[in-house]
Amino acid sequence: MTTETTDDVPEAINAQATRGLRWSLLGNMAMKVASFGMAIVLARLLTPADFGDYAVALAATQFVMHINDVGLIAGTVQWRGALEKMAPTASTLALAFSVVIYLVFFFLAPPFANLAGTPEAAPLVRLLTVVILIDGVTAVRAAKLMRTFQQDKLTKANFLGFCAQAAVAITMAANGGGPYSFVVGMVTGSLVTGILVFIWAAVPVRVGFDREIAKKLMRFGIPLAASLGVEAVLMNADYVIVGNVTGAVLLGFYLLAFNVSSWVPGVISTAIRQVSVASFSRLSEHTPEALSAGVARSVPLLVTGLVPIAVLLAVLSPQLVDVLFGAQWEPAAAVLRWLVVLTVVRMLTAFALDILTGAGATRATFWLNLGWAVALIPALLIGAHRGGIVGAAVAHAIVGSLVAIPLALLALHRAGVRLAPIGPALVRPLLAGALTAAVTVLVVHLSGSEPLVQLIVAGCVGVGVYVVTAVPLKQLRQWAATVRPGRTPTPAVTD
């Protein structure tokens, strides 16, 4: 029998998290490439109005998906004790809350669609929110895979589910399915993913209820669910406001831009979230210094990888939209340029929320998101009325930069995370990002008028400039090690 020393604990967690992150990144990259292809196909088969109707249903679904498990997924990941004892209670609670919330939104679908200015979207809302019932059944099982760093199984389940979604959505769109193509495809994909997660997690099917366990889960989960509910409002209120002010067609342009701006968070943030809560939870159990050290290692890597993507998306948004989706989607380009700022804010605040959740500071996540929402809603109303879809995007960028980021830093400071060591490590990538933006703009003007040529030439030059100026050779080797195929030996995780 071997004994693990105290100093070995962070290294063991880091090894497990690295393997999990590798699978999450590879899986999410594959998913986003496939999703990217599906988006191009659907943009050429459907109309902006179809996208607008779908945006309303998506807004409702994303809101309920944030709150329907009442924080039980994160609560299961963060649970201090044996999973076998709490799983029956957590499973019962997750399913019960999902059923109740689905019924509430079933009856609220018509007034919600009317509020968004698209009453015809009500049946779409009712159908798409079925995915929360699937999520209620699989919540604890998905959390078990995250808790034990089995991201390989989650990745495979999500990818196979997406394959089913794409097959159904594209087939329906090609045969006149309209916005139902999105909705039926998403429900089908969720069902396939849910079945695989349920089987692969190997959590025994047991119904039970322990009052003390339920109290502990709710003390942790309710503030987190409230926080995630507010976060869902943050990310979806613009659909309702823009739809109400501008109508379904312009909302369709806005949705396309928002989806493109979400590609990066979809790849990186989703992958990180599958391992970060578990990692920071284990580090916070060790020592506060271990948590701060983990944050100090992680944030500069995140920022270094994020800056060039954000810069190139902002500079090359007109060329990107034209090449990928066609000239008819040109109004989305101006929106995308501003939503890129929101992309950076979303990724940084999401990482802060994961740190706070892992440390058990779920109330802090609620106040962070609430402060952001209080500032954002009136800003979106003003922006949409004065500047349409571009005005709404500008409002998002301003409030995210001036309100959300400072609130996140304050919350981390109050949670005991040392932030001072992070600052110096960010100077180099930020300066390199500014240089990359200037060079990319210059190359666009020098590379002719063909959008495809501008996109390829300026994009390649921009990436080259950034890598040379921002990324030390040692860091490049670390990234390569993170994504290199092969198995990293990891100690077994036991509950």
In angstroms, rounded to a whole number, what is the distance separating the alpha carbons of residues 443 and 344?
24
Span 442-463, mean pLDDT? 90
> Quick one: which of 281, 317, 331, 349 has its CA closest to 459?
317
Q: What percent of the chain has pLDDT over 90?
A: 17
Q: Please check whether residue 70 is in contact with residue 218, taking contact to mean a CB–CB distance below 8 angstroms.
A: yes
Are the C-beta atoms of 250 and 256 separated by less than 8 Å?
no
Q: pLDDT by residue (tens digit) across 267-277?
A: 555 555 545 55
What is the spatial distance between Cα 281 and Cα 73, in angstroms, rounded to a whole number? 13
Torsion of CA 21, 27, 33, 35, to 10 degrees: -110
pLDDT reading at 358 higher than 90: no
Q: What is the pLDDT of residues 46-56, one digit of tens each?
A: 778 888 777 77
Q: In this predicted model, what pLDDT tens digit does every residue of 61-83 receive, in sequence order?
A: 777 666 666 566 666 666 666 67
CA distance 310 to 442: 17
pLDDT at 490: 40
Give the pLDDT of residue 442. 94
pLDDT above 60: residue 60:
yes
Could you identify the residue written with the tokens 């049946």?
Answer: 123
> Are the beta carbons of 451 and 330 closer than 8 angstroms?
no
Q: How far apart are CA 380 and CA 389, in angstroms?
A: 10
Q: Is the pLDDT of residue 478 over 80?
A: no
**Angle CA 351–354–355, to nearest 5:** 90
What is the pLDDT at residue 493?
A: 39
Query: How far is the C-alpha of 141 from the C-alpha of 134, rounded, in Å?
Result: 12
- pTM, 2 dp: 0.62
Query: Residue 491: helix, strand or coil by DSSP?
Result: coil
CA distance 423 to 41: 43
- pLDDT on residue 482: 54
Task: Compare 149 and 450 and report the one with higher pLDDT.
Answer: 450
Q: Which residues of 219-252 are buried (b: 16+ CB within 10 A; e: fewer)?
A: ebbbbbbbbbbbbbbbbbbbbbbbbbbbebebbb
Give the other-Cβ count within 10 Å of 178's Cβ: 17
- The residue with greater pLDDT, 471 or 285, is 471
Strands (E) located in 384-427: none
Place of tokens 């390829």: 456
CA distance from start to end of the chain: 18
- Apex CA 400: angle with CA 396 and CA 405, to 5°? 175
Exposed, middle or buried, 107 (CB in 10 Å: 0-12/13-18/19+)?
exposed
Alpha-carbon distance of 112 to 64, in angstroms, equals 13
Q: How many CA atoms lie within 13 A of 56 on its CB side?
A: 38
For residue 401, the 8-state DSSP code is I
Mean pLDDT, the chain, rounded, equals 78
Selected residue with higher pLDDT from 198 and 471:
198
- What is the mean predicted confidence (pLDDT) over 244-252? 83
Helix, strand, or coil (residue 179): coil
